[in-house]
Amino acid sequence: MAETIIKIDLNQSPHENENIHNRWHPDIPMAKMVKPGDDFILECHDWTGGQIENNDCADDVRDVDLTQVHFLTGPVGVEGAEPGDLLVVDILDIGTFEESQWGFNGFFSKQNGGGFLTEHFPEAQKSIWDFNGMFTKSRHIPNVEFAGLIHPGLIGCLPSKEMLDEWNTREKELYDTEPDRVPGLANLPYAETAHMGRLTGEAKAKAAAEGARTVPPREHGGNCDIKDLSRGSQVYFPVYVKDAGLSVGDLHFSQGDGEITFCGAIEMAGWIHLRVNIIKGGMEKYGIKNPIFKPSPIAPKYDDYLIFEGISVDEKGKQHYLDVHVAYRQACLNAIEYLKKFGYTGAQAYALLGCAPVQGHISGVVDVPNACATLWLPTDIFDFDIKPGMDGPQHSVAGSTDVPLSKDKKGAAE
At 258-275, the pLDDT tens digits run: 999 999 899 999 999 999
Contact 49, 71 (CB under 8 A): yes
Q: Work out whether the CA dihedral 213, 219, 225, 230 comes out positive or negative.
A: negative
Give the residue-averaged pLDDT of 279-286. 98
Give the residue-averaged pLDDT of 183-189. 95
- For the stretch 316-324, contacts whose Cβ atoms lie closer than 8 Å and that sit 24 or more positions apart, written own/partner, are 319/369, 319/370, 320/369, 320/371, 321/368, 321/369, 322/365, 322/366, 322/368, 322/369, 322/370, 322/371, 323/371, 324/362, 324/365, 324/371, 324/373
SS3 call for 267: strand
**pLDDT at 249 exceeding the cut of 90:** yes
Residues of the chain above pLDDT 90, percent: 95
> What are the backbone dihedrals phi and psi of residue 31, each rounded to the nearest 5 degrees, phi first?
-75, -40
Q: Which of 288, 292, 281, 291 is nearest to 85 (CA)?
A: 281
Q: Which of 191, 244, 243, 242 is nearest to 221 (CA)?
A: 244
**pLDDT at 414 exceeding the cut of 60:** no
Give the residue-averaged pLDDT of 143-169. 98
Q: Give residue-wise pLDDT tens across range 323-370.
A: 999 999 999 999 999 999 999 999 999 999 999 999 999 999 999 999
Contact 259, 52 (CB under 8 A): no
Q: Give residue-wise pLDDT tens across range 217-244.
A: 999 999 999 999 999 999 999 999 999 9
405-406 and 124-132 beta bridge pairing = antiparallel
**Distance between alpha carbon 64 and the CA centroid of its chain, in Å?**
16
**pLDDT at 102 exceeding the cut of 60:** yes
Contact 81, 236 (CB under 8 A): no
Q: Residue 412 has what pLDDT? A: 56
What letter would DSSP give residue 76?
E
Q: How far is CA 35 from CA 87, 201, 272, in A?
A: 12, 30, 18
What letter would DSSP give residue 337?
H
- DSSP string for residues in 104-161: EEEE--GGGT--TTTTTS-SEEEEEEEEETTEEEETTEEEEEEE---EEEEEEEPPPH
pTM (global) more than 0.85: yes
Beta bridge partners of 270: 44, 96
86-96 and 234-238 beta bridge pairing = antiparallel
Question: Which range has the worst mean pLDDT, 49-53, 238-242, 408-412?
Answer: 408-412
Could you write out the three-class secondary structure of 338-377?
HHHCCCCCHHHHHHHHHHCCCEEEEEECCCCCCCEEEEEE
Q: Residue 234 has what pLDDT? A: 98
Distance, CA of 46 to CA of 24 (rounded, Å): 18
Give the residue-averaged pLDDT of 127-146. 97
Distance, CA of 255 to CA of 132 (rounded, Å): 17
Contact 124, 321 (CB under 8 A): no
Distance, CA of 55 to CA of 244 (rounded, Å): 39
Give the residue-averaged pLDDT of 23-46. 98
